[in-house]
Structure 1
Amino acid sequence: MAWGVLSPAVVGCLRPLTGTCADRGLVRKVVEALVPSSSLWNAFATREDQLMGDSPEPAPEVFVGVDVAKGKHYACAMSAGGEALFSRAVPNDEGAIRRVISDAPDHGRVALVVDTTSSAAVLALTVAAQVAVPVAYVTGLAMRRAADLYAGAAKTDPKDAQVLADFAWRNADRLTWVGVTDELLARLRILNGRDTDLAGDATRAANRLRDALLAVSPALERAIGERLMSTPGLRAALARWPTPTALRAAGRARVRTLISRRSKRAAPTLTAQIWAALRSQTVTVVADATWGETIGSLASELDRIIAQRERLAADIEEAFLEHPLGKVLNTMCGFGPRTGARTLAEIGDPHRFANPARLAAYAGLAPVDRQSGRSHTTGRSRGGNHRLKTPCSWPRSSLPNTTPTPAPTTYANAPKARNTTPRSSASPADAATSSWP
């Protein structure tokens, strides 16, 4: 195996994995999906083509479409020939789900088809995994486009379940199969979801805090607004002295001392900026005391959310590094604990992607051809799994590009090679003599 193109850190992490098909397969697909033509993959291109691939299974003979809901699902079963077998409501409890799955095998091998993998579907997916029933997932966009092909404008649970089952047996080769999730991947997904929620909460709290500061002192908001998320000492000072009146009463020395307890390097600059803002405004707004209570509460809330997210980051890193490929992804450019954990959680079992191109297309990283008449261009995809696309975008751009970058004059010289004139450089005489098609 040619290890020369990899850094020593990556080599040290990858050597133990060369004997494991699943681990090598995920490394291959991540690297080649991010950099399709990169020489990085030359280090892994030994016997992967023989080792990778989808596990062949007997084709399902019955497709049970399940329109997932919080309290009561709706199931519709169809045979592989399009014959409707049964259709009924299914309460979201283990016994009812087991009865639906046990009724379907009377007509052949069963596959479950769901329209979401969210919390409402977790119990159904778990029961299906226990009884070894494969589960297919139809995205919301594909579901809605398929529903548009059927007569009627009604949107009901029975119709959605029927559309799922009918779409599944007609497009069995295009379904996305959901693999069994192990404990570690499930933990990563839960932690990632919680981290995303906290990030949104922190942004909302910071925006509300800045809006309140803007009401009492626009100059103060301009001075410290951008640093609320990154400076804990500033949040502590606002929680204690939330208004210009309170800051003046506390005094410059006390404010600087409190900020320096948690943000020592930023304390002198921040204190100077705060006092410059205080000097620029002498009036006190109406309801200053009420604004102070609001600002102090928001500053404390923001500080609590950020502290909670920092503790969660430690849990994410611990779970991420427990995964066999955690240390590998952590050494790749652009992958940290958060991005690596999201990548592992979204990819799951690498065997569900037949090749790296499918992984790139699933993530929305593959280029999209647009051809109409003589126009043929290539652009970026607007679709894909955005939970996977977002953490992979920066690693993809930060990995070394093995394709030579064209010189800046390449585009301008291309028309000369074709004996044509670029539109931007065409003279008025050329434009006047040009013929209109």
Structure 2
Amino acid sequence: MLTVGIDPHKKTHTAVIIDPSGDRLGQAVTVPDDADAVVKLREWASINASGQPVRWAIEDGRGMARRLATALAVTGESVVWVPVRLMVKARNHTGPRGKSDSLDALAVAVAAQRPDNQKYLARHTSDEPGADLAPLVDYRADLVAQRTQLISRLRWRLHQLDAGLEPASLTTLKAPHHLAQQLHTYPTGTLRDVLLANCDDLERLTTKINDLDRDLAARTHDLCPTLLTIPGVGPTVAATIIAEIGHPARIRNAAAFARLTGTAPIDVATSGTDRQRLDRGGNRRLNTAIHTVALTQARHHEQAQAIITRHQHHKGRRGAMRILKRHLTDVVYRTLTTDLTTSNNTTT
């Protein structure tokens, strides 16, 4: 089988096709990232493949190439994602030295062909459940960031007007309304008018965030109802997890999921002392989601508290939390895999 390696970018995609021995066939091609990209790539591949079967390997940059991968999958093509680290490793040992789009595409194809890399390749499907949730999760994160920035400015301006005006919380929908009522009792002035405008903006942002939360709750309940039953996993956390992984089929096992979330332990040995620490790598959004679940369970869940108590004496508080996070990663992965598999079977 021939392999097409694609180096995706925002405006263009560069492709190279190689045979099973790793030799390049024909010339590399670069196509604009538009509606005709798939047609042009398939025509180019058909000419160079001469009727032989082709597998498409794309560097794992889903923000850049999700639309391209889905369009290829819809036409019946076999599409896999190649992790960036495998591409870099192949590039360092393949072809001429240097850095270019065609060399990166060649490295993607070579990495996809190597037998040792097969277990790391994720097959792309056109029905990834996270595809619809990802933009909503991103939009909510942007709105929350805007609200946090607005609240910081609002608190400082309230302190300038009157130190006693600062409420304990400004993230509820009632808070800006009550604050505006208090501000109307102060003499008219520029600072008061700005604060009233800030209250209107804060109420608008909170309304949008609450609407998104309800939407995410409904969507995640349809996709992963069992995931939401895990203590500490709310709709936002569940939606973040689903959006970031796309589909659990691309993760080969729970250990790989732990590495992706940054909860897999790393051995640290120095001066005759052997210990472990958490991974500093991985997907930071997934890591934050697992961290949120762990903190919630550590406060309110008896089984999680028992795990911390059992390991805290030997591992310390941080070590016990690390063990709890690793345990929660397994629970989330099993539940997510079961939910989405059942959902897909029901749909088909």
TM-score relative to the length of structure 2:
0.72
Structure 1 residues 80 and 193: alpha-carbon distance in aligned structure 2, compared to 1, 3 A threshold: farther
Alignment of 1:405 onto 2:303: no
Structure 1 residues 157 and 354: alpha-carbon distance in aligned structure 2, compared to 1, 3 A threshold: closer
1:94 is paired with a residue whose SS is coil
CA offsets, 1:112-136, max 9 Å, x none? 2124111x42320121111233333
**2:151 — aligned with what?**
206
- Which residue identity does 2:278 align to in structure 1? R
**1:123 — aligned with what?**
67
**1:363 — aligned with what?**
261
Q: In 1, distance between residues paired with 2:315 and 2:136?
A: 47
Matches for 1:33-432 after TM superposition, within 5 Å: 61-85=1-25, 86-104=27-45, 106=49, 107-118=52-63, 120-139=64-83, 155-170=99-114, 172-182=117-127, 184-214=129-159, 216-217=160-161, 219-220=163-164, 223-224=165-166, 226-230=168-172, 232-239=173-180, 247-249=185-187, 289=190, 291-323=191-223, 326-371=224-269, 374-396=272-294, 398=297, 400-401=303-304, 405-406=310-311, 408=313
Q: In 2, distance between residues paired with 1:142 and 1:292?
A: 57
Deviation at 1:148, TM superposition (A): 6.2
Q: In 2, distance between residues paired with 1:135 and 1:114?
A: 11
2:171 is paired with a residue whose SS is coil
TM-score relative to the length of structure 1:
0.59
Report if the CA contact (8 A) 1:113-1:138 is conserved. Answer: yes
Structure having the higher Rg: 1
Report if the CA contact (8 A) 1:184-1:319 is conserved. Answer: no
- Which residue identity does 2:140 align to in structure 1? D
Report if the CA contact (8 A) 1:75-1:158 is conserved. Answer: yes
State the percentage of identical aligned residues: 24
- Which residue identity does 2:240 align to in structure 1? R
Unaligned runs of 5+ residues in structure 2 are 317-348
1:339 is paired with a residue whose SS is helix
Q: In 1, distance between residues paired with 2:196 and 2:214?
A: 28
Report if the CA contact (8 A) 2:17-2:109 is conserved. Answer: yes
Q: In 1, distance between residues paired with 2:28 and 2:168?
A: 56
Q: In 2, distance between residues paired with 1:218 and 1:158?
A: 62
- Which residue identity does 1:306 align to in structure 2? T
Q: In 2, distance between residues paired with 1:143 and 1:219?
A: 56
Q: In 2, distance between residues paired with 1:304 and 1:145?
A: 48
Q: In 1, distance between residues paired with 2:311 and 2:59?
A: 46
Q: In 1, distance between residues paired with 2:167 and 2:89?
A: 44
Structure 1 residues 69 and 349: alpha-carbon distance in aligned structure 2, compared to 1, 3 A threshold: closer
- Which residue identity does 1:405 align to in structure 2? R
1:354 is paired with a residue whose SS is coil
Deviation at 1:371, TM superposition (A): 4.0
CA offsets, 1:349-405, max 9 Å, x none? 434333322222222222122346844321111122233232223334626257571
Deviation at 1:316, TM superposition (A): 0.9
Deviation at 1:140, TM superposition (A): 5.0
Q: In 2, distance between residues paired with 1:218 and 1:338?
A: 35
Across the aligned residues of Structure 1 and Structure 2, the Cα RMSD in angstroms comes to 3.4
**1:426 — aligned with what?**
none
- Which residue identity does 2:62 align to in structure 1? T
Q: Which moved more, 1:68-77 or 1:391-400?
A: 391-400
- Which residue identity does 1:79 align to in structure 2? D
Report if the CA contact (8 A) 2:88-2:107 is conserved. Answer: no
